[in-house]
Amino acid sequence: MTKKKSRLLIAALAVALSLAIGALVARKIIDRVRGSRSSSAPTSTGPRVGAPLQAAEMLYDGKLSPGWEDWGWGKHQLGDGPAKIVFASYGGVLLHHDELSWRYGGLSFRFKAPPAWGDFLQVALRHAGKADDAFPVVSVEGRHVAAVEGGWKEVLVDWKELNPDRLPFDRVLIGSRTTVGSEWAELDRVLLTKAAAQDTRQGKLAVLCDGATHPISELIYGGSTDEWGSGQSAQRIGGNPLSRANWEIGAWNTGSDWYFENVAQPGSLLDTLDHGSRDKRKIAIVVPMLGWIAKDKTSFGFPRAKFGAQRAHDPYKAEAGDGFKPDGTPIRPGEPSETSLPAPPELIKSWIERVRAQDAKNGSRAIHMYILDNEPTLWNVTHRDVHPDPLSYDELLDRTIRYATAIRDADPEAVIAGPTEWGWTGYQYSALDRDGGFTLRPDRRAHGDVPLVAWYLKKLAEHEKATGKRLLDVFDLHFYPGASGLYGGNAGTDPSTADLRVRSTRGLWDPDYMDESWIKEKLRLIPRMKEWVRENYPGRKLSLGEWSFGAEEHISGGVATAEALGRFGQQGLDAAFHWGDLKDGTPAYWAFRTFRDFDGKGGRFQDVSLPTRDLENISLFASRDPASTRLVLVVVNRDQTLRASAQIALRGCGDVVSARRFSYGPGSRKLEPQPAELSASGVSASLEPFSFSVIELRLDKSDEL
């Protein structure tokens, strides 16, 4: 059932109940809506003094504003002037919107009602994913009300009363808390006010145009989907199923992600790659080296008929089990040939030869990077139906040499990336170490007690020196924050989790940041990757084949995404591929657009990175074009409570003749034009909490002027 149909059905049931059962049931309904929390603020001795209000979000002003829906109950009329509502039987109105940030100043509305009703109103916020009592129910009292023109009374409830825990919300409730008459009351100008402006700090930043520079790789703006509207520069075709992708028949195995099932892809990968070549899209693809690929589109690894009842079964295919007995004991799998075909290096070589032959016909390259499988130290978890034994240091090296050699033989100009490890312990240890315990780490100790990826790089360097054949061009790892609740289907968006999400980006680069998860290490991942390469296999480029900080549809996810993209260019990463959807209109989508197409006309972050000086909670990223005719800056306010007045000095940059700025913050629908003021020393801008802005500056050297 769709959300819309569900909502209509609920509304119809509420009306039917109200009519059939009467005020007693209605009272119970409103009690449930009210929840158990209530505002405990004291009642003041006099009414509120009316003052002009600045609307941050208008809900209703003679009609519903765009994006707002009527989810009310009881008798009411909206859409033709002031709303008319019958508040009898604890009636009211419920206005719905897609999730909004907590960052507002208050809720205001105007009403007309019989004076005999007295203080009868209550207001509250709601969210579909939270219990009703997550938000207080605030009784409207004299301290909230001011008399205004036309006989209206204007209510203003402070945001701290409505949302003390600073939670996102998607509904606003205005209802009766007492028994009142059945006359019509009127309601109008329902709005959310702007947050108080006094919490602003001054910030002095600088762009050092006379400092050391380096190029910014276009491939740091890659993604895992074909949603090109975000401006992503390349697509990584990857994930666990690609370890067993059969390029010829268009099938793969879902592994432990979904009951070890062979399923159909949308067409064969060979056709997909041909299409990508013709579209001139940059493609990075995971190449199987697990040794097995899906033999069909229907088989599954742990059928009930063979292994009996299991801990869980596919709700849409009851015969497919999860590979665990009902008591949680792992089931030893059957023969790999029951679901899969052998995939030796020779098969991979033949596939790539076919792709290159098609490239020759098309006049362009289909695959720009070959990635050596996906998270191999997890094979005995994700693909344990065909690889139940834990991967060792030696097996990883052996498979890398054999499969990378096949790729190089089929495509001498190939860009090959590996080892695509999943996270911190995957960088440090083999799966054999994980099973044996990281304290004992038997496999690592047998290999000089050095991290798995460092040993891997060193051995491939030795192989190139001995054979003259380079098998690795790009050192590729995956990165996700280690703290729970930051990404995935249940990513948290409460203020504490949102702050942690944004702080955790410091693990990419900051030498002083201690990871706030079970890892409890100073990760400084990109500098660490550079050290591993420099010490073991100089000359390798660096890639994050998967990364995400989660909550892409929440402002904290957008801020973290903008911060990460800026750091990738600043730190000199060569490629990065965001994992997950970049859906049109989400904060993460607009974070990508900030760097890739901020004005809808191709305006983008430039190709040369400039050094900057920023602040603790304000990041500044700077770029220029090779001809030094323009500067493009991205400023990220990582503080979710304080505005900032940023003064950006431009040192050695030349004279600026024009500036334009686009910003995205809480409640934004897109990147919006905003002021950027020029001065003799640079440019200044006011930054909303949890926001990112792009500033384009044109210099007097431009031939266009």
Q: What is the pLDDT of residue 611?
A: 98
Round to whole Å and give the CA distance between 335 and 245.
Answer: 18
Peptide bond into 419 cis (omega under 30): yes
Q: What is the pLDDT of residue 184?
A: 95
Beta carbons within 10 angstroms of residue 198's beta carbon: 6
Strands (E) located in 301-455: 313-314, 317-321, 340-342, 369-372, 416-421
Considering only CA atoms, which of 365, 361, 360, 392 is closest in space to residue 376?
392
Q: What is the pLDDT of residue 278?
A: 53
Q: What is the pLDDT of residue 499?
A: 93
Which 3 state secondary structure label does DSSP give 424? helix
Whether the per-residue pLDDT at 661 is higher than 60: the answer is yes
Round to whole Å and give the CA distance between 188 and 152.
Answer: 9
Residue-wise pLDDT for 14-32, tens only, equals 333 332 323 333 333 233 3
Whether the per-residue pLDDT at 13 is higher than 60: the answer is no
* Identity of residue 150: G
Residue-wise pLDDT for 74-102, tens only, equals 899 998 899 999 999 888 999 999 888 77
Which 3 state secondary structure label does DSSP give 178? coil
Percent of the chain at pLDDT > 90 equals: 78
Question: For residue 235, which phi and psi values (nearest 5 degrees)?
Answer: -120, 130
Whether the per-residue pLDDT at 62 is higher than 80: the answer is yes
Q: Which helix (H) or strand (E) holds 589?
A: helix 587-596
Question: For residue 241, which phi and psi values (nearest 5 degrees)?
Answer: -60, -25
- The tokens for 482 are 């280690």
Q: At 495, is the pLDDT very low, low, confident or very high (cuts 50, 70, 90)?
A: confident
Whether the per-residue pLDDT at 45 is higher than 50: the answer is no
Crossing angle (nearest 10°) for helices 525-536 and 555-571: 30
Residue-wise pLDDT for 374-416, tens only, equals 999 999 999 999 999 999 999 999 999 999 999 999 999 999 9
Annotate 428-446 with DSSP letters as a single string. Answer: H--HHHHHH-TTT-HHHHT
Crossing angle (nearest 10°) for helices 452-467 and 525-536: 30
Domains and CATH numbers, the chain: 3-193 (2.60.120.430), 200-211+614-699 (2.60.40.1180), 227-252+269-294+344-482+519-547 (3.20.20.80)
**This prediction's pTM:** 0.77
Q: In the Cβ-directed half-sphere of 537, how many Cα atoms lie within 13 Å?
A: 24
Burial 221-243 (b: 16+ CB within 10 A, else e): bbbbbebeebbbbbbbbbbbbbb
Residue-wise pLDDT for 304-334, tens only, equals 999 999 999 999 999 999 999 999 999 999 9
For the chain, state the CA radius of gyration: 30
Round to whole Å and give the CA distance between 452 and 393.
Answer: 7
* Identity of residue 348: I
Considering only CA atoms, which of 558, 625, 544 is closest in space to residue 591?
558
* Identity of residue 294: A
Q: At 279, is the pLDDT very low, low, confident or very high (cuts 50, 70, 90)?
A: low
What mean pLDDT comes out for the span 538-566?
Answer: 97
Residue-wise pLDDT for 588-637, tens only, equals 999 999 999 999 999 999 999 999 999 989 999 999 999 889 999 999 99
Q: At 494, is the pLDDT very low, low, confident or very high (cuts 50, 70, 90)?
A: confident
Better-predicted residue by pLDDT, 6 or 265:
265
Round to whole Å and give the CA distance between 159 and 157.
Answer: 6
What mean pLDDT comes out for the span 107-131?
Answer: 94
Q: Tell me what the pLDDT averaged over the chain comes to.
A: 89
Question: For residue 214, which phi and psi values (nearest 5 degrees)?
Answer: -155, 155
